[in-house]
């Protein structure tokens, strides 16, 4: 049991000494996950705010599809992206495999169904009440959707933060398309897995503490915003 306590002490030391390798891994993780979340949100949120503002035939099917893809195994997402980006794949000429861009693409694909499903449900539950107001003001469908989106900004922020939490904790897809290359594509989750397999517990524990702290902060923000909305 002493190795656990020693690993914890060494891990805490790495954190407070701002170890260069540890800091690089953490910053890369936050950067790629933020980029993936923002790219996906910029495309998905406006579409599903617009779609969610009115009832239509097939909305139950859309909800089920979003929920189904939201629970897709991440390793399958990684496989799909890897097949597309591989040298013989459709985008192989771009040579994106084992790069930060590949990780961003994989994480963006992974969180898109989550953003879509949560945005759509939030708009259906709380956004449609703004449709009569928009009609009264003479707004068209796009303007009404913008009005609802502005009123639901905290709800949408909760969705984006939740998606970021999903992205930053991902390991399977990231390992497959990023390759866990030191100094280039090694993020917190892949570094933890590798360090554990090599018996380098201090780095694994340090990164685990940072990842846990990130999760706690994210959940605190989400619950604070949720409480404010209600």
pLDDT digits (tens, 9 = 90+) for 127-186: 888 887 777 777 788 888 888 888 888 889 889 988 999 999 888 899 999 999 988 999
> For residue 84, is pLDDT > 90?
yes
pLDDT value of residue 41: 95
The better pLDDT of the pair 72, 84 is held by 84
Give mean pLDDT, residues 89-97: 91
Task: Pick the closest to residue 10 from 195, 171, 169 (CA basis).
Answer: 195
Q: What is the pLDDT of residue 1?
A: 63
- Under the banding of pLDDT at 50, 70 and 90, the label for residue 117 is very high
By the 8 A CB rule, do 86 and 102 touch? no
Pick the CATH number of 2-229 from 3.40.50.720, 3.40.1670.10, 1.10.10.10, 1.10.3720.10: 1.10.3720.10
Give this prediction's pTM: 0.89
* Cα–Cα distance measured from residue 18 to residue 199, given in angstroms and rounded to the nearest whole number: 21
CA–CA gap between residue 96 and residue 23 (Å, rounded): 24
């Amino acid at each position: 049991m002493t190795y656990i306590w020693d690993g914890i002490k060494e891990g805490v030391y790495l954190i407070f000494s701002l170890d260069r390798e540890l800091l690089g891994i953490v910053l890369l993780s936050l950067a790629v996950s933020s980029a993936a979340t923002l790219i996906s949100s910029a495309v998905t949120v406006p579409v599903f705010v617009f779609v969610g503002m009115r009832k239509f035939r097939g909305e139950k099917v859309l909800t089920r599809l979003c929920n189904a893809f939201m629970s897709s195994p991440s390793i399958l997402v990684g496989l799909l992206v890897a097949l597309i980006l591989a040298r013989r794949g459709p985008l192989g000429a771009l040579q994106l495999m084992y790069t930060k861009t590949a990780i961003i693409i994989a994480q963006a694909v992974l969180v898109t169904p989550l953003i879509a499903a949560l945005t759509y449900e939030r708009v259906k539950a709380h956004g449609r009440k703004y449709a009569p107001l928009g009609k009264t003001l003479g707004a068209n469908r796009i303007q009404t959707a913008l009005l609802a989106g502005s009123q639901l900004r905290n709800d949408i922020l909760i969705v984006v933060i939740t998606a970021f939490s999903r992205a930053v904790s991902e390991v399977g897809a990231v390992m497959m398309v990023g390759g866990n290359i030191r100094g280039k594509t090694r993020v917190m989750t892949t570094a933890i897995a590798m360090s554990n397999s090599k018996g380098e517990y201090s780095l694994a524990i340090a990164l685990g503490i940072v990842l846990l702290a990130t999760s706690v902060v994210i959940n605190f923000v989400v619950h604070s915003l949720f409480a404010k909305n209600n």
